[in-house]
Amino acid sequence: MAIEFAGMMAAVAAAGAFVVAGAGTAQAEPTAVLGGSSGVVFDNNAACSLTAIGHDSAGRLVGLTAGHCAPAGARLVAEKTPAAGPVGTVAFSDNGQGIDYAVIEFDPAKVTPVRTVGATTIAGIGGEPGPGATVCSSGRTSGSDCGVVWGSLEGSTINQSCSKPGDSGGPVTVGDRLVGMNQGRLTGLGPIGFDVPCVVAAIPVHSPAFFAPIDVVLGAINAGGGVGAGFQPI
């Protein structure tokens, strides 16, 4: 299975946001409003999307995103509020070598967590949808889009939603229930390497996307303990 991760190395403007945010300022820093599908820019210059934001069992403000976006220890800024400066640090990342997830610990003094961003509201956790179900995905690049679930492949759930670079980590939902974490799109399908990138979300003719079921991600986080264990969205 060939894949294209949906979060690596966004535009130069997004990459520059971290540099701007890190500069000193005499003015009070604004608060970053963040929720599922919000864009975040890491200090490795990768821009990705948040899966969700909430609290772990220790009361820490934490968020989830794809592991290939950044390594443990990476700092990040909110893409839409770079003047707030660094708002969190990656507490754990599997660097895309396992399930492909990362846990972010946020500074609660700099972040206002929200359930709704654009068309996406996350009010709880749902189970993995089966073939034929309709799921909706959201990301900083593509916005919101919905598509049918085709099935599972190598532990990922394949679906006909739009996924572009920067959408990695974005939420996959059924109604207001979080069911998955977007990780990219399939490429090189078939004997001739069939691949049709998504142009705009309104055009459904493109190679399918894939996501990690959220119960699998949360199970791994809970098994590892530490930051993120017991995560619940706000």
Domains, the chain, in order of start with CATH, read 8-114+219-227 (2.40.10.10), 120-217 (2.40.10.10)
Burial class (CB in 10 A: 0-12, 13-18, 19+), 181: buried
Average pLDDT of the residues of the chain: 89
Determine if residue 31 is left, alpha or beta; phi over 0 gives left, psi from -120 to 50 gives alpha, anything else beta.
Answer: beta
CB 216 within 8 A of CB 126: no
Cα gap 59→25, rounded to integer Å: 30
Structural tokens at position 2: 């060939």
Cα gap 99→212, rounded to integer Å: 7
Cα gap 109→193, rounded to integer Å: 48
Q: Give strand pairing partners of 149.
A: 159
Structural tokens at position 37: 């599908």
The predicted-structure confidence for 102-152, as pLDDT tens digits, reads as follows 999 999 999 999 999 999 999 999 999 999 999 999 999 999 999 999 999
Structural tokens at position 18: 């971290």
Sign of CA dihedral 97, 99, 104, 105: negative
The predicted-structure confidence for 25-54, as pLDDT tens digits, reads as follows 456 678 999 999 999 999 999 999 999 999
The predicted-structure confidence for 152-202, as pLDDT tens digits, reads as follows 998 999 999 999 999 999 999 999 999 999 999 988 655 445 688 888 877
Cα gap 168→161, rounded to integer Å: 13
- Amino acid at the residue 144: S
The predicted-structure confidence for 200-229, as pLDDT tens digits, reads as follows 877 888 999 999 999 999 999 999 999 999
CB 21 within 8 A of CB 47: no
CB 169 within 8 A of CB 48: yes
CB 68 within 8 A of CB 96: yes
Cα gap 42→86, rounded to integer Å: 9
